[in-house]
Amino acid sequence: MEVYTFEKSYLERLKEAEAVLSWEGAVMPASQVRSEWKSYVELKIEPAGWQAIWKIPRVICEDLKLRYPTIVYGYVEQVIFDELKAVFVVTAVQDNDVHLPESNEVSLVELWPTVQQENTALNVDTTAECIDRLRFFYTHVWMPWDKDYDDDRDWVQQHLQARIQLVCDLSKNRLPRPLALHMRTLLTEAKYIQQRLDYLELDLSDAESDDEAVELSDNAAEPIKRQSKAGSANGSLNVSSLPVTDLMCLHLRMAIIRSEFEILENPEMRRAYSELQSNSLKRLRCSSGRSTQSEDLLVERNPISHVVTLPGKLQDQLELLKLAQTLIKPDSHVQLSNTLQDVLSICQSNDNILLSPGEHTIKFLEHLNDNGSLRGLSNPKAILTPSTDLSLLPVVCSSDEDSTLLVIDGDYTLSELVLDCRHVRRGILLRNGTLTMRGCRMLGDGSSSTQEGIVCMPGASAELKSCLIENFAVGVSMRPKSSAELGNVQFITCKTGLELLEKTTSVNLQGSKCSFENCALGILADGFVLGEQKTEKALVLNKFSELQRFNEDNLLGNCSFYNCKKNVRVFHESGQLLAQRSHQQLLEDELGGENKENIQMA
């Protein structure tokens, strides 16, 4: 099954948006923008009866404990033009473990009309193109805070062309890379916060309606004892107390993002911001002892080993330096540094970084590549011992608003570290090259149904030796044509340990020492050919060797399973809702806004 896709230039996108938002009034206030889109949609979209794929938003997947992205197939029963939504009836799911209401009210931009339609009389071509225009506008041009814009100002005149130009500049890498990645991060977070706000506000309104219904029906002599949402009659929290707190935090964060983005949206202010960053970087390099001449020759110098230490006792620092001495070549240049974030701001991509025990918080908006390395100064056995106090280990973590801890875009090595991913949606995004990990431990939050440890994009490869991956929704996700060699890797308490999203993925479980412990599902294999005699949509297997029979060339080695609810689950290629090309596009669309460009560091 294929979905409609459209390749258009940004100039075409601008002209399309201008055509929709042409208004006879003197100014086009923000409040009128949605009305114009409603009128356009009413003219272009079939009101009912067309088939589509619904890509379920992350916030709903998190609430329903589903994998992300999850797609389902169905048809539109009714388009709600005033709200730019549709009543979508689910008729098929790829995974029988996905349980959804049959009828759902969804946003039009979440729907992807399919090329094959039961009713060929419907004008689905026009419907699909209209939704594509609507999706582009509300994904890239319209900001969540625009609905609060002053009605006496012309939104179209002030924002439309500038926003589309900004999208074009971001796509074509015309902005300085740190600034571009920072803006993408802000945009991704703002969209997610808006989805979360909408979902929580809907939840609160439903709770208030339930309270009103209870009050109206409360005619007994003694009042009915209301229960908390968790169902406890003795619950100490009001039904809406936690959502209200969440709403306040989300609104506050949105206000911060808005104030920063409105500055960066202005091209002149972007230039000033980049100059300010550049000056700050120069001061940082000067403080680290680099001369102007050495900065000019920065790209030609040999790699430096940066030793990052947190404040500590003199004897402890001396012990760390002795350990570092055993790991650094005698003729290498060494730089002592205060914070990992400072080092990442000034180092070359092929430098080596050594971290002392303790928590190293980063907000890194670049790629790691070019044979560089990041290594902890610690006892390797302590890293892989779950009972060890994290404060005694070198830990890399991120602020809670980041979407990805590290982005790898070339050959890079991580050794003897703890990667604390509890405040991010994704631990490592491996876009290109080979990631080598030795003696590392990755920690997830243990509650999210969408959090991923490592995502290997097409063409990338990962080599993991003696690593521990625990408490993720998906430990390692392998996209089509990616590869991995795993030796003595433990997946612990993951919803899915290893995910193979297409039969072209290649995995070698070396030495038969890999294990999956207390996982809901050890290995998920999607899009495999199970043979003509197999009519089931999915099979549950007990051993990795049973999975190898369906893909002997790409699956090597062996592993063990301990106390997993299901060891291996494989989905038949014929049971997929989408053809490979369409499915791949939706997967790429999911990562499109985060750390997008594929360019080497200087």
Dump strand ranges (E) for 3-62. 51-56
Strand partners, 570: 525, 539
Q: Mean pLDDT score of the chain, rounded to an integer? A: 83
The secondary structure of residue 287, as a DSSP letter, is: H
Confidence of residue 560 (pLDDT cuts 50, 70, 90): very high
Joined together, the tokens standing for residue 515 give: 């294990």
Residue with tokens 């703002």, as numbered in its chain = 190
pLDDT digits (tens, 9 = 90+) for 143-194: 999 887 766 788 888 888 888 888 888 888 888 877 887 888 888 888 888 8
Residue 457: Cβ-neighbour burial (10 angstroms; 0-12, 13-18, 19+): buried
The top-scoring range by mean pLDDT among 199-213, 326-340, 455-469 is 455-469
pLDDT at 165: 86
pLDDT of 281 above 50: yes
d(CA 365, CA 186): 12
Contact assessment for residue 523 and residue 569, using Cβ atoms and an 8 Å cutoff: yes
d(CA 85, CA 82): 8
d(CA 589, CA 53): 14
Query: Left if phi > 0, otherwise alpha if psi is -120 to 50, otherwise beta: which for 119?
Result: beta
Segment 426-441 shows an average pLDDT of 94
Least-confidence region, from 164-178, 281-295, 366-380, 411-425: 281-295
pLDDT at 573: 74
Question: Phi and psi of 85, rounded to 5°?
Answer: -130, 180
d(CA 103, CA 422): 34
Segment 14-19 shows an average pLDDT of 87
The Cβ-side half-sphere exposure at 505, using a 13 Å CA radius, reads 25
Question: What string of DSSP letters covers 6-20?
Answer: ----HHHHHHHHHHH
Radius of gyration for the alpha carbons in the chain, expressed in angstroms and rounded = 26
d(CA 235, CA 311): 44
Q: How many CB atoms lie within 10 A of CB 216?
A: 8
Between the two ends of the chain, the Cα-to-Cα distance in Å is 43
Confidence of residue 3 (pLDDT cuts 50, 70, 90): confident
Joined together, the tokens standing for residue 135 give: 């999706």
pLDDT at 532: 60
Which residue type does 164 have?
A: I
Least-confidence region, from 119-123, 284-288, 571-575: 284-288
pLDDT at 598: 31
Nearest CA among 370, 414, 372, 384 for reference residue 396? 414
Q: Which residues contact 147 (CB under 8 A, 6 or more apart)?
A: 30, 31, 34
d(CA 227, CA 517): 37
Strand partners, 417: none
Joined together, the tokens standing for residue 64 give: 């329903």
pLDDT at 212: 54
d(CA 368, CA 566): 36
Segment 402-423 shows an average pLDDT of 91
d(CA 269, CA 265): 8
pLDDT digits (tens, 9 = 90+) for 507-548: 999 877 899 999 999 999 988 887 665 567 788 999 999 999
Segment 480-496 shows an average pLDDT of 95
Confidence of residue 400 (pLDDT cuts 50, 70, 90): low
Q: Which residues contact 122 (CB under 8 A, 6 or more apart)?
A: 46, 49, 50
Using CA atoms, how far residue 580 sits from 114, 257, 584, in Å, is 14, 36, 6
Residues in the chain: 602
pLDDT of 254 above 60: yes
d(CA 571, CA 521): 13
Q: List helix spans (H) across 475-579.
A: 544-548
SS (H, E, C) 500-516: ECCCCCEEEEEEEEEEE
d(CA 472, CA 68): 12
Confidence of residue 223 (pLDDT cuts 50, 70, 90): very low
Question: Phi and psi of 513, rounded to 5°?
Answer: -105, 0
Segment 241-263 shows an average pLDDT of 83
